[in-house]
Chains A and B, each alone.
Chain A
Amino acid sequence: MLVSIGHVTRYAYATPASYSIHTLRMTPPSFEGQKVVSWRVEMPEIDRALRYRDAFGNVCHLVSIPYSHTQLAIIARGTVETQDKSGFVRGLTEVSPIRIFRRQTAKTEPDQAIADIVAGLKSEDRIDRLHELMQVIGERVEYVVGATNAHTSATEALSDGRGVCQDHAHIFISAARLMGLPARYISGYFVTGEELASEAQHAWAEAYIDGLGWLGFDPANQLCPTDRYIRLATGLDAGSAAPITGNRRGGMDEVLDVFVEVQQQSSAQQQ
């Protein structure tokens, strides 16, 4: 599937920021099933950015804006060609041994409720168990935009019973790690359709299965990723896989506006 993506993030401040700095994890990787045809990130000072690879294999840009500003736009756009690999992930550049993805974080630290979900899984086959886990999480946590925020933990979202893809992924990762499996968080994009709730900016989880490798699970949509999924960044949780992390001096009362458009190119041409 040939997919075109436009991802626009706009910040506006009530008072000027004298300086701001941004870590961008906005460079999608090419690997089996995902080929980046073209990609461009635009923002002020991006030409002077420091480019490097982080601990989770993401290509990052560190961009400083050293002058007064009251607004800022970060725009990523490009075309990516995808193939359905039944959720299996191969050919990614890995920086760290897989075992570090067994580490729980503040956002994934499990509680009794998550332990109970794991204990209640009935399937015996290890892959069936993960599918069952994905299904249980989808049933237990209703997809409600705005019920949670960027700082909500897996346990909080589960207890509330409402959340978005980030929360579903955190609960899945928490439970998978509790089962002893390495698990990680993926931020990316999704080619939406009428039958599914998710928005174009999306997140899902992966678990590592010995002998098979990384396998993706999207509890929000009850799917293993297909060619409708475009991977952007990987992390231990939403924090380390965040497309943009920033800090600034001054700049009170931030207003954030994010617009993501993901379109299937070839099907549009066929119609």
Chain B
Amino acid sequence: MGRKLQQQEQTSVKATQALRKAFDEMNGTGDGVRAPYNAVSEWLGTQKLEDLKQKLLEAETMFRRTGITFAVYGKEEAAERLIPFDIIPRIISGPEWRRLTAGIEQRVRALNAFMYDIYHRQEIIKAGKIPEELVVGNSAFVPEMMGVEPPLGIYSHIIGIDIVRTSENDFFVLEDNTRTPSGVSYMLENRETMMHMFPDLFARNRVAPVDDYPENLLKTLASVAPRGLEGEPTIALLTPGQYNSAYFEHSFLADQMGVELVEGHDLVVLDGSLQMKTTQGLRRIDVLYRRIDDDFLDPLVFRSDSVLGVPGLFDLYRAGRVTIVNAPGGGIADDKAIYSYIPEIIKFYTGRAPILQNVPTYNCRKPDDFKYVLEHLPELVVKEVHGSGGYGMLVGPTASKAEIEAFRAKLVANATNYIAQPTLALSTCPTLVDTGVAPRHLDLRPFVLFGDEVRLSAGGLTRVALQAGSLVVNSSQGGGTKDTWVLQD
């Protein structure tokens, strides 16, 4: 009993230390309000806590009305719930955003060049820049993709890059979500809600719009239609169905773009093309924006028990008869074991140094790294190589001794399954909590589209850890979101 209390105290002391060290988006390191936040800070100073809380309730009512909910895995009730929303925006200045934009664009181009290379001649392996085993032996590598020629040579057209900030000038990329990143619907809904509730704030700040995302997504999808196609391509969005946690987003995006939302059983492969069953008969699909995982895409090639995909779809893709967005096999580029090679990958394909930094990463498959990790668990964040959504990870500084020891056992049993990184003091932003307005840690997921050009939404989705001191921002772990502003100068 006494011991448990002591642990909790230690945890909270550590958490407080992390918070005290953290750079605050509004207040910097305590030398006054940072320029981008001037207007919002002033506004916040004039608000009563009760009024803000009332506004938050109103916002939640709006979200419920739109139907924007999120199913959480691993909870017994599997309840659909709202992702908590915070009404104090996260603000990025024009110059900051320009730098991020350059870094993101560089990254997206390099990652796609990497994918093209490893699914063709594998020059980067021949050059000795990345170990063969890490690519060819990787479970995220899809050998069936070898030699496929995707339109414009692009594999990951839709990428969500998770970025954190640790000081005025330090931004780090945590991971590149090159498979099927989700969350863009929250970016759009957050903005709509904020504009509805606080029109004055938008009158006093020049905030770059984000509502062009669906149009840009549609343009991007159309630009990667199969070669030699005559006329306008027909586009559809493939969802696993209404029980998927992101189903709201699937239907929302299909609706916004004006394309069909389909499930596997709505599609059929006939005469060398993908056909959609409609009330007026069959209609050919040229570009399929799929929101189901590779494994389920095509039972002829991947999991033979899949009923979510379409038999024959992969063969059509291979033959250039339909474009799958994102391409199968893109997971190789956001594999956590590949991650530590990304700076090398950027240099190899662009000839330039990375604009955005990676977090230093220990690969537990390397004996020296593994030894270091075991000796420094209380300081590190340890993640599963193929994990996502904040599941199965250890945040050393906020974990109890018992949690650390339990995790150590998992690590020793399966070292190659893990990577570790130093715990970063993620920046904070004032956030409305029960007791008032308090700093909470956050990250940023900008949404990038890559087709005939790179199209980047201004800002992205800011995720915020609502527990004091917590560094886990994932919505599956109780994180919330904020509207993200890029100021136009």
Contacts and interface: CB of A to CB of B under 8 A. Distances in A.
Please determine whether chains A and B interact with each other in the same assembly: yes
A21 B312 contact: yes
A93 to B, nearest CB: 11
Contact of A64 (B133, B147, B270): B270
Interface in B99-136: 121-122, 125, 132-133, 136
A104 B138 CA distance: 10
B145 A23 contact: no
Contact of A55 (B145, B271, B299): B145
B269 A245 contact: no
Interface in A21-75: 21, 23, 48-56, 60, 62, 64, 66
A189 to B, nearest CB: 23
A102 interface: yes
B136 A21 contact: no
B144 interface: yes
Interface string A190-209: 00000000000000000000
Secondary structure type dominating chain A contacts: mixed
B321 interface: yes
B304 to A, nearest CB: 8
B146 A50 contact: no
Nearest to B311: A247
A99 interface: yes
Contacts of A51: 319
B118 to A, nearest CB: 10
A182 B152 CA distance: 31
Contacts, number: 78
Contacts of B132: 99, 102
Given A21-B311, A23-B300, A66-B270, A240 B318 contact: no
A103 B272 CA distance: 30
A49 B321 CA distance: 13
Nearest to A247: B311
Given A64-B271, A96-B143, A54 B318 contact: yes
Interface string B288-323: 000000000001100010000001100110110100
A95 B147 contact: yes
A143 B145 CA distance: 35
B436 interface: no
A104 B137 CA distance: 7
Contacts of B121: 97
A99 B315 contact: no
A64 B122 contact: no
B464 interface: no
B315 A60 contact: yes
Contacts of A96: 143, 146-147
Contact of A21 (B143, B145, B269, B318): B269
B187 interface: no
Contacts of A183: none
Interface residues of B, number: 29
A13 interface: no
Nearest to B143: A100
Nearest to A245: B300
B382 interface: no
Nearest to B148: A55
Contacts of B147: 53, 55, 95-96
B465 to A, nearest CB: 38
Contact of B271 (A19, A48, A52, A99): A48
A236 interface: yes
Interface in A62-98: 62, 64, 66, 95-97
A187 to B, nearest CB: 16
B144 A62 contact: no
B146 A55 contact: yes
A164 to B, nearest CB: 21
B318 A52 contact: yes
B268 interface: yes
A55 B146 CA distance: 5
Nearest to B315: A62
Given A49-B272, A50-B272, A95 B146 contact: yes
Contacts of A100: 136, 143, 146
Interface in B414-470: none
A247 B301 CA distance: 11
Contact of A62 (B122, B143, B148, B269): B269
Nearest to A94: B147
Contacts of B122: 97, 99
Nearest to B145: A55
A240 B270 contact: no
Contacts of A23: 300, 312, 315
Nearest to A182: B136
Interface string A86-124: 000000000111011011100000000000000000000
A109 to B, nearest CB: 11
A23 B146 CA distance: 18
Given A21-B312, A23-B300, A23-B315, A102 B271 contact: no
Contact of A103 (B125, B143, B300, B312): B143
A62 B146 contact: no
B268 A19 contact: yes
Contacts of A50: 271-272, 315-316, 319, 321
B312 A64 contact: yes
B409 to A, nearest CB: 23
Contacts of A48: 271-272
A99 B136 contact: yes
Nearest to B321: A50
B143 A55 contact: yes
Contacts of B300: 21, 23, 245-247
A102 B379 CA distance: 37
A22 to B, nearest CB: 9
Given A50-B315, A60-B315, A62-B316, A55 B144 contact: yes
Interface of B: 121-122, 125, 132-133, 136-137, 141, 143-148, 268-272, 299-300, 304, 311-312, 315-316, 318-319, 321
Given A60-B315, A100-B146, 7 more contacts: A21-B311, A21-B312, A50-B271, A52-B319, A103-B136, A240-B143, A247-B304
13 contacts: A19-B268, A21-B300, A48-B272, A50-B271, A52-B315, A52-B318, A62-B312, A64-B268, A64-B312, A100-B136, A102-B133, A240-B144, A247-B312
Interface of A: 19, 21, 23, 48-56, 60, 62, 64, 66, 95-97, 99-100, 102-104, 236, 240, 245-247
Which 3 pairs of residues, A with B, have the shortest CB-CB distance? A50-B272, A247-B311, A55-B146
